């Protein structure tokens, strides 16, 4: 009776189940019911294998498992249990065979324990270990574990081993001193000692580590203690190691570049400055200091504005501020006070600075001393004004003298013609020849005086043209009559051709006539006996231009002389034996007269073949056209 009570109490307090020899639940204690999540009625007769899956023997049939338990006396297993509410829990099961007095298998006794919480902790611990292991061994940075008492490495991940060229086994035979560059050992050991005794909990330094092959690598090392004894002494330490060789090389390269820039900037014969985004100076070179006599601190910020000449300050600052606002280059001239107290002219220019991603940083610029250039410009301007004044006086003098000369010349020519026409009495042959020479020389001198007068008027700006519409044919006829005698004398054919449809044009008739006479006269004078001068008048570009062209078959002009052909007083042939008279004013005056009309003249020539002068004058008025063409062709005496 007492044994039955004890068994009953055990059944209540113990998660106990009894199975029949086939594995069906016969009896189940309340505690076992709570673990399995079923009532006793639901559990009775239920197949044990439908509730629990043995982890170690998932694919082993129950009868085989039962034979093993019978032969071994009992068995302990971990299993997965599916509760009635759908949850899956971890359980630990102890199975023991039950026999009758005759030794026949009566059933199986089962104790079942809920170990879900324990298994969760176990899994979390395992995951943590796996995570640590993965982090430690596969981290992109080097990680080492050190025993603090003797500085021996207890562990090293793949990254640090690859970095230094060791296997993990090789690395864990080394100490901190073995892999530290000799020049960096003291600072490393000093920090390690402080961390070991508790003065600091961690430290970070840049140091060189030695590779297995003896070469070095720059690293950033961050170390911390991970365990301490009862006396507060660090037992173990862990360090994270980053390879910063490329960073150090880049820093060295940048430092070298900055030093090189500073050396070049300080040696440059210009003022160099660099500003922030607000226009305050961040850097100025030695040349800037030497030129201004200021100290480095004087020109930082905005104090540099104080050395600008008061007259130039507002304009220059406005230019600079506009450039900063628009982030665009600027260029300006200004005066700044030099170290000697005098003001010097500076050409200041600047360009915006940006980061690689386009962020505006400010400006970098230069200042070039242009004082000598400005003084030269001032001198040249004074010289120009003086030369213009002299030229004006010269033109006025020539104009005055031309007027003074023309009056007696006209008188001489007039009286000479009267004598030539025998109005004062008969002349013998010698007297007639003499008086003809006087008349010819007087006319020639008068032409020179007239050219000088016209040229002086042009230079003085007093030459005016009076455009009007005039008939072209009568003007051409006047020119032919005036020059036919000269053409006959030189035995040159003189031919005129006016384009069909042109009867009248708009220009200054007197000056237009003078242009043609000068060109034709030259073409006759510099032609060969038996040569030809052809004058063409035609229209171009839809009637917008009247074109004049004088072609000769004369001696031609050397190519190296063409560029000076329209210069005043220029002669192609300057030899004492030259056969043609002239002052070198005719073509220069012709060019000026054409340009006063808004036109242009060009020349083409080939020695021994001839020369062609072509000029154009714009026509503001419509050309009057008729269907009849006007053509003149006058041939002088010719040996052909």
List, for residues 52-79, the tens digit of each pLDDT value: 887 765 566 766 777 788 788 788 888 8
The answer to the question of residue 127 being in a domain is no
Please tell me the least confidently modeled range out of 324-338, 483-497, 617-631: 617-631
The answer to the question of residue 40 being in a domain is yes
> Which residues on neighbouring strands pair with residue 52, listed in sequence order?
81
Q: Is the pLDDT of residue 632 over 60?
A: no
Question: CA-CA distance, 219 to 204, in Å (whole number)?
Answer: 10
Terminal alpha carbon distance of the chain = 173
The answer to the question of residue 640 being in a domain is no
Same domain as 547, residue 527: yes
- Please report where in the chains the tokens 């040249």 appear, as a residue: 380
Question: CA-CA distance, 77 to 122, in Å (whole number)?
Answer: 17
| Tally of domains in the chain | 5
Same domain as 87, residue 6: yes
Same domain as 569, residue 469: yes
Same domain as 498, residue 536: yes
Between 61 and 378, the higher pLDDT residue = 378
Same domain as 485, residue 605: yes
CB neighbours of residue 339 within 10 Å: 12
- Please report where in the chains the tokens 């360009």 appear, as a residue: 351
Provide the sign of the torsion angle of the four alpha carbons 60, 65, 67, 68, taken in this order: positive
The answer to the question of residue 578 being in a domain is yes
**Average per-residue pLDDT for the chain:** 82
Please tell me the least confidently modeled range out of 34-43, 306-315, 451-460: 451-460
- Give the pairing of strands 468-471 and 343-354: unpaired
Same domain as 6, residue 104: yes
Same domain as 152, residue 15: no
The answer to the question of residue 130 being in a domain is no
pLDDT at residue 633, rounded to an integer: 40
Domain end, chosen from 321, 345, 369, is at 369
Q: What percent of the chain has pLDDT over 90?
A: 23
Which residues lie closer than 8 Å to 502 by C-beta, 6 or more apart?
472, 537, 538, 539, 546, 623, 625, 630
Average pLDDT over residues 223-244: 84
- The enclosing domain of 391 has a CATH number of 1.10.287
Provide the sign of the torsion angle of the four alpha carbons 158, 160, 166, 172, taken in this order: negative
What 8-state DSSP symbol labels residue 304?
G
Q: What is the dihedral of CA 306, 308, 313, 315, to 10 degrees?
A: -140
Q: Are 297 and 280 in contact (CB under 8 A)?
A: no
List, for residues 472-521, the tens digit of each pLDDT value: 999 999 889 888 988 998 999 999 999 988 888 899 888 898 899 889 98
Tell me which residue range forms the domain holding 425. Answer: 376-458
User: Per-residue DSSP letters for 564-584?
Assistant: GTTSTT--S--STT--S---S
Question: CA-CA distance, 328 to 315, in Å (whole number)?
Answer: 17
Domain end, chosen from 210, 227, 243, is at 243
List, for residues 406-445, the tens digit of each pLDDT value: 667 777 777 777 877 778 788 887 777 777 777 767 766 7
Q: Is the pLDDT of residue 339 over 70?
A: yes
Number of residues that this document lists for the chain: 640
Question: CA-CA distance, 258 to 266, in Å (whole number)?
Answer: 12
CB neighbours of residue 384 within 10 Å: 10
Same domain as 222, residue 175: yes
Average pLDDT over residues 16-34: 88
Domain end, chosen from 316, 344, 369, is at 369
Same domain as 440, residue 530: no
Same domain as 147, residue 38: no
pLDDT at residue 59, rounded to an integer: 62
pLDDT at residue 639, rounded to an integer: 31
Same domain as 448, residue 354: no
pLDDT at residue 458, rounded to an integer: 64
The answer to the question of residue 134 being in a domain is no
The answer to the question of residue 597 being in a domain is yes
Same domain as 397, residue 329: no
The answer to the question of residue 128 being in a domain is no
- The enclosing domain of 227 has a CATH number of 3.30.450.20
- The enclosing domain of 568 has a CATH number of 3.30.565.10
List, for residues 257-290, the tens digit of each pLDDT value: 778 878 777 778 889 888 998 888 888 888 888 8
Edge to edge, the sheet with strand 105-114 lists 25-28, 16-19, 105-114, 88-99, 75-82, 52-54
Chain centroid to CA 522: 58
Average pLDDT over residues 545-552: 92
């Amino acid at each position: 009776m007492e044994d039955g009570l004890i068994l009953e109490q055990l059944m209540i307090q113990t998660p106990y189940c009894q199975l029949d020899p086939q594995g069906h639940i016969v009896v189940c204690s309340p505690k076992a019911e709570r673990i399995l999540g079923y009532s006793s009625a639901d559990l009775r007769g239920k197949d044990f294998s439908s509730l629990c899956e043995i982890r170690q023997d998932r694919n082993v049939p129950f009868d085989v498992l039962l034979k093993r338990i019978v032969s071994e006396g009992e068995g302990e297993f971990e299993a997965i249990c599916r509760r009635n509410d759908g949850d899956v829990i971890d359980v630990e099961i102890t199975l023991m065979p039950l026999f009758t007095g005759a030794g026949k298998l009566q059933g199986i006794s089962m104790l079942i324990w809920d170990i879900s919480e324990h298994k969760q902790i176990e899994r979390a611990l395992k995951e943590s270990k796996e995570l640590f292991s993965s982090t430690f061994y596969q981290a992109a940075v080097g990680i080492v574990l050190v025993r603090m008492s003797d500085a021996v490495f207890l562990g090293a991940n793949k990254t640090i081993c690859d970095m230094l060229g060791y296997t993990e086994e090789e690395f864990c035979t080394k100490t901190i001193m073995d892999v530290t560059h000799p020049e960096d050992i003291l600072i490393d050991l000093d920090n390690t000692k402080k961390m070991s005794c508790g003065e600091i909990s961690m430290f970070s330094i840049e140091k060189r580590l030695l590779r297995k092959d003896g070469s070095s690598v720059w690293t950033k090392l961050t170390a911390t203690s991970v365990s301490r004894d009862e006396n507060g002494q660090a037992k173990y330490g862990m360090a994270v190691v980053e390879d910063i060789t490329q960073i150090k090389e880049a820093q060295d390269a940048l430092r070298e570049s900055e030093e090189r820039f500073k050396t070049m900037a300080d040696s440059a014969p210009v003022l160099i400055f660099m500003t922030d985004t607000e226009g305050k100076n961040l850097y100025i070179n030695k040349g800037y200091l030497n030129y201004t006599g200021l100290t480095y601190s004087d020109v930082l910020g905005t104090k540099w504005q104080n050395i600008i000449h008061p007259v130039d300050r507002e304009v220059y600052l406005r230019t600079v501020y506009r450039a900063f606002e628009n982030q665009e280059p600027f260029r300006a001239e200004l005066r700044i006070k030099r170290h000697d107290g005098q003001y010097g002219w500076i050409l200041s220019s600047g360009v915006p600075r940006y980061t690689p991603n386009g962020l505006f940083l400010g400006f970098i610029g230069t200042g070039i001393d242009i004082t000598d250039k400005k003084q030269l410009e001032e001198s040249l301007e004074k010289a120009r004004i003086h030369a213009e004044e002299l030229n004006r006086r010269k033109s006025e003098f020539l104009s005055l003298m031309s007027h003074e000369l023309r009056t007696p010349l006209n008188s001489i020519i007039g009286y000479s013609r009267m004598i030539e026409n025998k109005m004062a009495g008969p002349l013998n042959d010698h007297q007639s020849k003499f008086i003809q020479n006087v008349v010819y020389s007087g006319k020639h001198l008068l032409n020179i005086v007239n050219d000088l007068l016209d040229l002086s008027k042009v230079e003085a700006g007093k030459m005016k043209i009076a455009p009007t519409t005039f008939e072209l044919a009568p003007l051409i006829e006047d020119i032919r009559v005036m020059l036919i005698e000269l053409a006959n004398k030189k035995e040159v054919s003189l031919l005129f051709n006016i384009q069909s449809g042109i009867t009248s044009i708009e220009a200054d008739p007197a000056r237009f006539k003078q242009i043609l006479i000068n060109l034709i006269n030259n073409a006759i004078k510099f032609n060969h006996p038996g040569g030809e001068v052809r004058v063409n008048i035609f229209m171009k570009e839809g009637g917008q231009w009247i074109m004049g062209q004088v072609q000769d078959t004369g001696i031609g002009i050397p190519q190296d002389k063409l560029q000076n052909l329209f210069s005043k007083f220029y002669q192609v042939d300057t030899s004492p034996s030259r056969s043609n008279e002239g002052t070198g004013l005719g073509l220069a005056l012709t060019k000026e007269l054409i340009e006063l009309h808004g036109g242009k003249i060009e020349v083409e020539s080939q020695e021994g073949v001839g020369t062609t002068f072509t000029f154009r004058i714009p026509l503001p008025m419509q050309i009057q056209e008729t269907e009849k063409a006007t053509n003149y062709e006058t041939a002088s005496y010719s040996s052909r």
